[in-house]
Chains A and B, each alone.
Chain A
């Protein structure tokens, strides 16, 4: 039926905020199988590491923003208790994998509004331990608690899990644009190659395209190598003004642009499966930063599944819609390619901590923190993305190396 689409106009990004705030500390916990710590314990470790990295103490922090719960209510209150701090600004976010970048954006908004000065942002999960806790029965615990699942129009038709939800998008992209399993495979292979350069990464074995194709089928068109890892781990970042950052320990990494967009009408609506919220989130971030996709030196994209990388390459404008497959297959994503992407190995091969590790990797690349085999040469600008909330929420961050 012909009808008019009613969509609100996009608002203008505030360019006055460009470069006004910085990430001054990053930290993570051990990754992979860390049975000795809960999700809060992992996050506590990451937050301590981020503060040490920044050279700040708990007396400096007056803001806390966490993602959660996976299984825990009011994450931020529990974290404040563990850290032994009260805070002028503190909350928990609910945008799935888009939450981690959103926490940085919200930190900027809060500081700019005079609510607080130094904000600790982070996320932790114990997905590996939680799904392997009861080894006697070999029963796995669902990653999403049943009470958070839709109670109808979901399980009664045999629909289970995030793999299937994202695989729907891949199936449609394949049908519309001729995207192939080889195209998806080149993404998994490129990130695995990066993980082999990262001693903290969960995956230690090389992955060839041939081995990719022999992967255990999960939900067609995805096999096990299209899916991100089940990880115990946490990451945290410290946000404050660029002015304050000048006196701190690390080379500041400035936040030159950010954006969000949320396709709240759902994954099934319109062309949301193949034209994701990344597009408008990215347009906003690029407009704020005053740069274009070709100015990006490295991209850390939210890779819950191979397909989400492919569509984001298109949605962010690194290539045309429908050409994400050939773009990835050209070798562009490798560390010495045209767009070094997920240089830590990403969630597919380093560990899946809902996007927070992607922010950390972007910051470290811009600090030039690595030796030559892992460092993107002369990296000055990074794009980091977050995607989640069951496929509809997206957030973008453009980072820039600050002055010495």
Chain B
């Protein structure tokens, strides 16, 4: 039997800088230089005002839980149920999909505050969030 490998990201050219920053433990987001809008996933124009001028800005790692689910069925050998996945509303505005790391799945609640942490998948650092 070969070892079980978790799914790892296959970055697109636009998202390579995001994943490189993750490997250094930094969550970065595109922020528009014109209108100040933060967005995700990364792309080459601001989706709000269509400005091509923008910068990578590090998120401060605070968020709230927009919605979540708890996997009870096993879909992948690397992910042993039960575990939680949520849509995380970052303080900066964008919402991203994330593992929700907790020792008590029954305490998860929509709207609860979350903080950035990191998950490891083979050689990859993957952003995750936990209640605090």
Out of B41, B72, B128, name the residue touching A217 (CB < 8 Å). Answer: B72
Q: Give A153 to B124 CA distance when docked, in angstroms.
A: 13
Within 8 A of A (CB), among B38-94: 38, 41, 47-49, 66-73, 75-76, 79, 82-83, 85-87, 92-93
User: Within 8 Å CB of A152, what residues of B?
Assistant: 9-12, 15, 19, 41
User: Within 8 Å CB of B10, what residues of A?
Assistant: 151-152
Out of A153, A168, A218, A273, name the residue touching B41 (CB < 8 Å). Answer: A153
Closest Cβ–Cβ distance, residue A297 to chain B (whole Å): 34
Give the number of residues in B that approach A within 8 Å (Cβ atoms).
48
- B6 interface residue (CB < 8 Å to A): yes
| Selected interface stretch from A157-165, A183-191, A393-401 | A157-165
| Residue pair B79, A158 in contact (C-beta under 8 Å) | yes
Cβ contacts A323-350/B at 8 Å (1 or 0 each): 0000000000000000000000000000
Q: What is the chain A residue whose CB lies nearest that of B74?
A: A160
Q: Give A172 to B68 CA distance when docked, in angstroms.
A: 8
Within 8 A of B (CB), among A147-193: 151-161, 164, 167-169, 171-172, 174-176
Q: A152-B9, A219-B70 are in contact. Are A160 and B126 (CB under 8 A)?
A: no
Q: What is the chain B residue whose CB lies nearest that of A165?
A: B69
Cβ contacts A357-379/B at 8 Å (1 or 0 each): 00000000000000000000000
In the A-B complex, the 10 residue pairs with the smallest Cβ-Cβ separation, listed nearest first, are A175-B110, A217-B72, A155-B7, A160-B75, A151-B10, A152-B9, A172-B67, A220-B70, A268-B95, A168-B67
- Report which A residues bind B (CB closer than 8 A): 1, 3, 6, 151-161, 164, 167-169, 171-172, 174-176, 216-221, 265, 268-269, 273
A158-B71, A158-B99 known, 13 other contacts, Cβ within 8 Å: A1-B92, A3-B35, A3-B37, A6-B48, A152-B19, A157-B126, A158-B76, A159-B85, A164-B69, A174-B110, A217-B72, A219-B72, A268-B97
**Chain A to chain B contacts (Cβ below 8 Å), 18 pairs:** A1-B93, A6-B48, A152-B12, A152-B15, A156-B9, A156-B121, A157-B97, A157-B98, A160-B76, A161-B75, A164-B85, A168-B86, A172-B67, A175-B67, A175-B110, A219-B70, A268-B97, A269-B95
- Report which B residues bind A (CB closer than 8 A): 6-12, 15, 19, 35-38, 41, 47-49, 66-73, 75-76, 79, 82-83, 85-87, 92-93, 95-99, 109-111, 119, 121, 124, 126, 128
